Amino acid sequence: MSPKRLAVFDLDGTITRHDTLVRYVLGYLLRRPWRLPRALLVVPAAAAFSLRLIGRGRLKSTLLRATLGGVPRAEIECWTAEFVPRVLENGTFAGAREAIARHLREGDHLVLMSATVDLYVPAIARALGFHEAICTGVRWRGDRLDGHLSTPNRRGEEKARCLRELRERHPGEATAYGNAASDLAHLKLVEHGVLVNGSAAARREAARRGIACAVWR
């Protein structure tokens, strides 16, 4: 039997129409407004990020520690169970859902690979029928969320490294979908890389590298 083909999907901007992490955090805070002032603790890190003094991983960790740090695991799981159906019902591209369904029909091994966090990405993967998820891990202190990252931020070259490891486990033909210029690092490593809804600059660079472009609505 020939090996299953690999199909790797990015999440934010590829399957979902919007960034999911900020919506996840804000949705939680709006249900517990007494925690909203904690968001102000993120402002210095956001300013440092805009000045390129810190990276995305540091900014992400600061956001999680400031807003969700100390929240019990059961509370996080409860919010995730509420958040995921909302995202999938109202916030995904029809083109993405069609591509996922096609790969499932064809018997491919589907992997959701995202830079966002493991508080909810695995739940989205399960709901959509993916076989596994690779995403940025978040630390816990016992039963309460710590907020520091437990893995590298799964973006850019780190995503490419994860894809190389995936291909060692699944050596057959591979397709990958992403939406950002940073995704080109891993899209170029597969037989069928597709840049979805990319910016004009990202589309130009994709064309230079021989990566296909698509528009999902």
Tens of pLDDT, residue by residue over 21-40, are 999 999 999 999 999 999 99
Q: Residue 35 CB: number of other CB atoms within 10 A?
A: 18
pLDDT at residue 1 above 80?
Answer: no
Question: How many Å from the N-terminal Cα to the C-terminal Cα in the chain?
Answer: 36
Distance CA 101, CA 114 (A): 19
Tens of pLDDT, residue by residue over 75-95, are 999 999 999 999 999 899 999
Ordered structural domains, the chain, with CATH: 6-214 (3.40.50.1000)
Contact 133, 122 (CB under 8 A): yes
Tens of pLDDT, residue by residue over 146-184, are 999 999 999 999 999 999 999 999 999 999 999 999 999
- Sign of the CA dihedral 133, 68, 181, 162? negative
Q: What is the mean pLDDT of residues 42-69?
A: 97
pLDDT at residue 51 above 80?
Answer: yes
Q: What is the mean pLDDT of residues 45-72?
A: 97
